[in-house]
A and B are shown apart, each in its own frame.
Chain A
Amino acid sequence: MEITPLGDSALILRMGDQLQDASEQTVNQVLGAMHRIERAQLPGIIELAPAYTTLAVYFDPVRVIDGGADPGDVVDWLTKKLNDALGKSRRLRRDKSHVRAIEVPICCDTEFALDLEQVARHAKLSPTEVVDLYCAGTYCVGCIGFTPGFPYLLGLPQKLATPRRASPRKDVSAGSVAIGGEQTGIYPLRSPGGWNVIGRTPLQLFDPQNNPPALLNVGDRIRFRAITRDEFEAVKG
């Protein structure tokens, strides 16, 4: 693990920088590190944000200096504090009981599944086989970003990996479940997007009026369950 500056007001703890480094195990190590740093309550740290194999630590340099660092030595001082908080043991495993398992219903009605045919052709499967294979998988939320509440999921069956669309759509509906290369995710808000849409969930993934605002957290374990159009409408209300 390395700790490097992200400008003058953040540090990144990095356990890898390639997609193949990202696994449920590294995501859980990152979360383990996050909880240790949270507990340590270090001076000047404002916010922590995990993503795949990294943890961003945002800080206010002035408050770190007020907390005892020399103005010319803020990063080394804070890095030492972070290393102390993480402890000697590099076994940052996260307590398994904290892992949430969440089922996400997905409706693959032709009106929603705009690119299911394309994904099926690419995988040399029928659309029904694609949906079955997709729903048989277990996924892990690797990071949340792109738009507020957008979960990037790890664990897409290799066979379903499909290149992004040559020309992105200007307008992808909220709830669209999509595949982009080896990754898969869910659009929480209506937004532009270039991933292949294979269905839609009736769940609301992001609501700024809620606390927390996102339905999913980094580290959550996700399974998809295929539902009919009627079930979709019933959940939607």
Chain B
Amino acid sequence: MKLTITRAGFLTTVQDLGRVGSRRFGVSMGGALDLHALRVANLLAGNDENAAGLEITSGIVRLQFNDDRIVAWCGGEYDVAVGSRQVPSGHSAHIDANEELSISGPHRGCRAWFGISGGIDVPVVLGSRSTDLRGSFGGFEGRALRDGDVVSLAKNSACAKTLIDRLGQEEIAAWSASHDWSSPAQQEPILRVVHGSDWDRFNDLTHHVLTSETFLVSPDSDRMGARLEGSELRRREDCDLLSEAVAPGTIQVPPNGKPIVLLGDCQTIGGYPKIAHVVTVDFPVAAQLRAGDRVRFREVSLADAHRFLFERNGDLEQFRVGIKLHMR
């Protein structure tokens, strides 16, 4: 019932689907930066979709379990192995007690989410097990994991137990989640955007720059946002805006003209103009941006953004049904 973090990598945190209901108190939503990836990894591990898993951000991570578990992961291109067995993304894998899971990378992308059967058993704070790094609460002692940390795991679900028995010999399931769900990192990604409420504070030339030029991801990007370098985005006129709500996906433009794509740990309010918003179905791609990556933006309508989400939800519903059949 324990997981030892033998090596913690660059930034490994406990995350679930995030903290909802406390934004009015200035508490970020947080959670896995790619909620869809954690959902899928949890389903593959026989968990509730909101179970707490691990978010890994580059480096070498080693995990050791003291009982049998199902592990599944989705995210950037990492090498994940148990001994000599490779564990590809989007597959359920059986890990025996005292085996070590080794993770290194990424070759492409930035982050990966690991669902572990039973889920990580840390206290629920403000309705979530996610780590709030700025507020130093939630997750494991309100901080990123360090070498040698030992975290508790909850009991394997009935589904996970069935899968452990079934995978006994082969160890890694032959079936998997679709590739674009389990490996969302793209070379030269294009993020689809809808207009922000301050779109009209920028002129046509700036709109053209945003939707046609390539931007470079800056090294001072983090879980709060991906900072971009490129042609300056100039406003028509300067005026002091009153702070109001921002959300993951919001692209805000500070006075230096360098856009920031906000991610899950972003503040709840902001005073910079909001030129556009990345659509929710493209958060998995945005969460894979790392320093040096090139990214472009393409305009879509809000109606399209909602249709994409609705379609993905239909596919997820089918996936849930399929998973249940494998674990019955």
Q: Please list 29 pairs of residues, one from A and one from B, whose beta carbons are closer than 8 Å in the complex, sorted by A's number.
A: A4-B197, A5-B277, A6-B197, A6-B246, A6-B250, A7-B277, A8-B305, A12-B244, A14-B197, A17-B241, A18-B239, A19-B242, A21-B242, A49-B245, A51-B243, A52-B244, A54-B244, A54-B245, A74-B303, A74-B306, A143-B243, A143-B269, A147-B26, A148-B135, A208-B27, A208-B125, A208-B132, A213-B22, A218-B24
B-to-A contact residues, CB < 8 Å = 20-28, 125-126, 132, 134-138, 194-197, 239-247, 249-250, 267-269, 274, 277-280, 302-303, 305-307, 309-310, 313
A218 to B233, CA, bound (A): 33
A79 to B125, CA, bound (A): 33
- Nearest A residue to B137, CB-CB: A208
Q: Which of A57-65, A93-101, A108-116 lies at the binding interface?
A: A57-65
Contact of B26 among A7, A47, A148 (CB under 8 A): A148
For residue A102, give the distance in angstroms from its CB to the closest CB of chain B. 15
Contact of A49 among B24, B196, B241 (CB under 8 A): B24
A65 to B269, CA, bound (A): 27
Q: How many residues of A contact B (CB 8 A)?
A: 54
Q: Given A6-B277, A12-B197, verify A145-B267 contact (CB < 8 Å).
A: yes
Are B241 and A189 in touch, CB under 8 angstroms? no
- Nearest A residue to B300, CB-CB: A8
- Nearest A residue to B250, CB-CB: A7
Are B247 and A189 in touch, CB under 8 angstroms? no
- Nearest A residue to B138, CB-CB: A208
- Nearest A residue to B251, CB-CB: A7
Contact of A71 among B132, B240, B245, B306 (CB under 8 A): B306
In the complex, whether A214 has a CB less than 8 A from a CB of chain B is yes
Contact string, A59-87, partner B, CB cutoff 8 A, digits 1/0?
Answer: 00110010000011111000000000000
Number of A-B contacts (CB under 8 A): 162
Are B24 and A50 in touch, CB under 8 angstroms? yes
Are B244 and A8 in touch, CB under 8 angstroms? no
Chain B residues whose CB sits within 8 angstroms of the CB of A139 once the complex forms: none
Chain B residues whose CB sits within 8 angstroms of the CB of A12 once the complex forms: 197, 244-245
A-to-B contact residues, CB < 8 Å = 4-10, 12, 14, 16-19, 21-22, 46-54, 56, 58, 61-62, 65, 71-75, 143-150, 152, 189, 191, 206, 208-209, 211-214, 217-218
A61 to B310, CA, bound (A): 8
- Nearest A residue to B270, CB-CB: A145
Contact of B306 among A17, A51, A61 (CB under 8 A): A61
Are B27 and A8 in touch, CB under 8 angstroms? no
- Nearest B residue to A46, CB-CB: B20
Chain A residues whose CB sits within 8 angstroms of the CB of B303 once the complex forms: 71-74
Are B132 and A148 in touch, CB under 8 angstroms? yes
Q: Given A75-B302, A208-B138, verify A146-B313 contact (CB < 8 Å).
A: no
Chain B residues whose CB sits within 8 angstroms of the CB of A149 once the complex forms: 25-26
Q: Given A12-B244, A148-B135, verify A5-B26 contact (CB < 8 Å).
A: no
Q: Given A7-B249, A71-B307, A208-B126, verify A58-B23 contact (CB < 8 Å).
A: yes
A144 to B134, CA, bound (A): 15
Chain B residues whose CB sits within 8 angstroms of the CB of A51 once the complex forms: 243-245, 269
For residue B279, give the distance in angstroms from its CB to the closest CB of chain A. 5
Chain B residues whose CB sits within 8 angstroms of the CB of A144 once the complex forms: 24-26, 268
- Nearest B residue to A213, CB-CB: B25
Closest 5 CB pairs of A and B: A7-B277, A56-B245, A145-B269, A8-B305, A214-B25
Chain A residues whose CB sits within 8 angstroms of the CB of B26 once the complex forms: 144-150, 206, 214
Chain A residues whose CB sits within 8 angstroms of the CB of B21 once the complex forms: 46-47
Are B20 and A47 in touch, CB under 8 angstroms? yes
A19 to B239, CA, bound (A): 11
For residue A226, give the distance in angstroms from its CB to the closest CB of chain B. 26
Contact of B309 among A47, A49, A61, A191 (CB under 8 A): A61
Chain A residues whose CB sits within 8 angstroms of the CB of B23 once the complex forms: 47, 49, 56, 58
A213 to B126, CA, bound (A): 8
A52 to B269, CA, bound (A): 11
Contact of B310 among A22, A62, A146 (CB under 8 A): A62
A21 to B245, CA, bound (A): 16
Are B306 and A206 in touch, CB under 8 angstroms? no
For residue B304, give the distance in angstroms from its CB to the closest CB of chain A. 8
- Nearest A residue to B268, CB-CB: A145
Are B277 and A8 in touch, CB under 8 angstroms? yes
For residue B235, give the distance in angstroms from its CB to the closest CB of chain A. 14
Which of A14, A50, A143, A189 has the largest count of B CB atoms less than 10 A from its CB?
A: A143
- Nearest A residue to B305, CB-CB: A8
Chain A residues whose CB sits within 8 angstroms of the CB of B305 once the complex forms: 8, 61
Q: Given A49-B24, A56-B245, verify A8-B309 contact (CB < 8 Å).
A: yes
